[in-house]
Amino acid sequence: MTFEFYTGLTAKEVPIIFKDEQLRIACSPDGICSDGSGLELKCPNNTDVFIDLALNGINAMKKEYVAQVQYSMWVTGKDIWHFANFDPRMPAGKEIAYFLVERDEKMMKEFDELVPEFIEVMDQGLNKLGIQFGNQWSVYGK
């Protein structure tokens, strides 16, 4: 993996990490790094996006990616997350831009408040459909 080559870290692939025993809150990072941090990799459709991120770092990160990375830190409890952007159209040695994103405690508090509210609204919608969360797996014998 290019990220591992340039950083000297190893990244272990993990399918999904749950925050809670009820399996309601989870994230699916692209990896957990040997330094204990998480990893999110993106491969933009547009080289302009890659160049902007390579030149401006976290300031050029799309809001949805900031939210995704912060949410992953909230789920996992990690304080640091690597964000990497890979563009195979760039010359060799210049095809990856990466940096560290630090945990934003303000966003953590927002997740603490908003995620349970979202789950409550989702459950209300499911109840209107006659579905209880978790029962969707019963068709598979679980």
Active site residue 4: yes
Residues 12, 13, 23, 100: which is the catalytic one?
13
Classify strands 38-42 and 80-86 as parallel, antiparallel or unpaired.
parallel
Long-range contacts of 5-11 (CB under 8 A, 24+ apart): 6/96, 6/98, 7/33, 7/82, 7/98, 9/33, 9/34, 9/35, 9/82, 10/34, 11/39
Active site residue 64: no
Residues 4, 104, 110, 123: which is the catalytic one?
4
Active site residue 20: yes
Q: How far apart are CA 80 and CA 36, in angstroms?
A: 8
Q: How far apart are CA 105 and CA 76, in angstroms?
A: 14
Residues 12, 20, 35, 62: which is the catalytic one?
20
Residues 9, 30, 39, 40: which is the catalytic one?
40
Number of H helices, E strands in the chain: 4, 7
Residues 9, 30, 39, 42: which is the catalytic one?
42
Active site residue 94: no
Active site residue 100: no
Active site residue 52: no
Residues 41, 53, 78, 87: which is the catalytic one?
41
Please give the angle made by the CA atoms of 83, 54 and 11, to the nearest 5 degrees.
30
Active site residues: 4, 13, 20, 40-42
